[in-house]
Amino acid sequence: MNPNIHETLDAGRVTLLFKALIQNAFDVVKVVDGNLKTIYVSPSVQKALGYDPSEIIGTNPLDFVHPDDLDRALAELADVQRDGGVGRLDAIRARHKDGSWKTVEVMLQNLLHDDAVRGFVLNYRDVSDRVQAEHQLRSLRERYELAFRNSPDSITISDLQTGEFIEVNGGFARSIGYAATEIVGKSALALGIWKDPETRREIVTRVATEGRVDEVPAEIVARNGDVRSCLVSAELIHLDGRPCMLAVTRDMTETREAEALLRETTEKLRRDHVELVRKNIALNEVLEHLESEKEQYRHELCSSVDNLIRPVLRKMHDNGRLSPREIDQLLHSLDEVTGRHIDQFKNNVSKLTPRELDILEMIRAGRSSKQIADGLGLSAQTVHKHRQSIRRKLQIDHREINLAAYLRSQQGAG
Which DSSP state fits 362? H
Residue 398: the pLDDT is 65
- The phi-psi region of residue 320 (left if phi > 0; otherwise alpha if psi is between -120 and 50; otherwise beta) is left
Burial class (CB in 10 A: 0-12, 13-18, 19+), 317: middle
pLDDT tens-digit series, residues 120-131 = 888 888 888 888
Q: How far apart are CA 240 and CA 71, in angstroms?
A: 40
Class of domain 11-127: alpha beta
Evaluate if pTM is beyond 0.75: no
* Maximum Cα–Cα distance across the chain: 174
Average pLDDT over residues 279-303: 79
Q: How far apart are CA 356 and CA 375, in angstroms?
A: 14
pLDDT tens-digit series, residues 52-80 = 989 999 999 999 999 999 999 999 888 88
Q: What is 339-409's CATH number, 2.40.30.10, 1.10.10.10, 3.30.1330.10, 2.40.33.20?
A: 1.10.10.10
One DSSP character per residue, 44-79 reads HHHHHHS--HHHHTT--GGGGB-GGGHHHHHHHHHH
Nearest one of 39, 18, 40, 20 to 29, comparing CA atoms? 40
Mean confidence (pLDDT) of the chain: 82
Residue 261: the pLDDT is 82
Top-confidence residue, 208 or 407: 208
Residue 5: the pLDDT is 43
Which DSSP state fits 7? P
The domain ranges of the chain are 11-127, 151-251, 255-320, 339-409
Average pLDDT over residues 192-198: 89
Binned at pLDDT 50, 70 and 90, residue 236 comes out as: very high
What is the DSSP pairing of strand 38-41 with strand 86-95? Answer: unpaired
Q: Do domains 11-127 and 151-251 have the same CATH topology?
A: yes
Least confident residue range of 35-44, 69-78, 177-186, 257-266: 257-266
Binned at pLDDT 50, 70 and 90, residue 217 comes out as: very high
Which CATH fold topology does 151-251 show? Beta-Lactamase (3.30.450)
Binned at pLDDT 50, 70 and 90, residue 23 comes out as: low
SS3 letters for 132-148? HHHHHHHHHHHHHHHHH
Binned at pLDDT 50, 70 and 90, residue 304 comes out as: confident
Binned at pLDDT 50, 70 and 90, residue 14 comes out as: very low
Binned at pLDDT 50, 70 and 90, residue 209 comes out as: very high
